[in-house]
Chain A
Amino acid sequence: MRFIYDLHQSMITHNVILIYEGDFTQETTKSILSMAERNLESSGEESGIKKRIFNVMVEALQNIVKHSDEIEVDKSKSHAAIFLIGNEQSRYSIMSGNPVRKENIPTLKNALEKINSLDKDGLKELYKEIIKNTTISEKGGAGLGFVDMARKSGEKLEWDFVDVNEEYSFFCLKVNIARAKEAVA
């Protein structure tokens, strides 16, 4: 039973206020959103910041629903992924982790590196360029999720690929949103 306490302590140490682990669907997305909205509602956070957090949450959750690759562990197949919200002194962070097949990593890396190389105006131009030329993919995405998250964050996206086995890596993403300046003090 020790792990329950350890997990609890770990959440406190890392300032994590919400974790969801498991299969992700549109229904779980809606539940997590309404839970987080209630938390934020009572936090007294500025409405613009709350909307940005909501915005990044939606993109992160729908990315998992649409793009998390099915991983086979001990012969059982699973889409298991993780979603977390952190609440640090000066910022919120929206974090996600999901398995990706290794052949999909270069495309993801290129997209993330390009986004992180751009400033505010560069991101705006990239957004407009993609929205003009994109078509909705089979998975239902517009290819705009990361760009939008970076724009709403105003900071660089933090990401990593953790090796799982020969076929899969675990894609970890952290998107930070600074608190309103008045709230810092």
Chain B
Amino acid sequence: MEILNIEGAEDTPKIILDRTNGIFEISGRSLPEDSAEFYKPVLEWLKSYSGQSNSATDFVFKLEYFNTASSKLILDVLSSLESIGGTTVHWYHHEDDEDMQEAGQEFSELVEIPFEFRTY
């Protein structure tokens, strides 16, 4: 499978989805003008990965900030992960960012995937 590698920018997160090396990570800031368009390749990648997934998928979210339009797309990403067996979400938040921790908790209540909470 091809690696999906999107460089981060001022208003978009860095994304690496690499099946061979087992790296699945979305990090940084997410406030793109068109969130649906921005996350489209991610959702497409996950769709094709779901048919040939690794036995364990440790998916890392290390977000500094995301806007509400991105939150809907993050939920779509999580919903795609629900159908991939052996997935664990590692939700990072800055140690003094309670809002980001709470956001992760809310996502964990919306999908049936184990979440692990970590600080950075």
Contacts and interface: CB of A to CB of B under 8 A. Distances in A.
Interface of A: 26, 30, 34, 47-48, 51-52, 54-55, 58-59, 62, 65, 124, 127-128, 131-132, 134-136, 140-142, 144-145, 147-148, 152
Nearest to A146: B68
Summarize B's interface: helix, strand, loop or mixed.
helix
Given A26-B33, A48-B99, A55-B99, 9 more contacts: A51-B97, A51-B99, A58-B31, A58-B67, A62-B69, A131-B75, A132-B75, A134-B72, A142-B35
Interface of B: 10-11, 31, 33-36, 65, 67-69, 71-73, 75, 94, 96-99, 106, 109-110
B72 A144 contact: yes
B99 A152 contact: yes
Chain A interface, >50% SS class: helix
A147 B71 CA distance: 13
Given A30-B10, A58-B31, A132-B110, A142 B71 contact: yes
B42 to A, nearest CB: 14
A124 B105 CA distance: 12
Contacts of A127: 106
A132 B111 CA distance: 10
Contacts of A34: 10
Contacts of A132: 75, 110
Contact of B72 (A59, A136, A152): A136
Contact of A148 (B11, B68, B97): B68
A87 B15 CA distance: 36
B49 to A, nearest CB: 22
B60 to A, nearest CB: 20
A142 B70 CA distance: 8
Contact of A48 (B35, B97, B110): B97
B65 A54 contact: yes
Contacts of A48: 96-99
Nearest to A145: B68
A131 B11 contact: no
A142 B97 contact: no
Contacts of B33: 26, 65, 140
Contacts of A148: 68
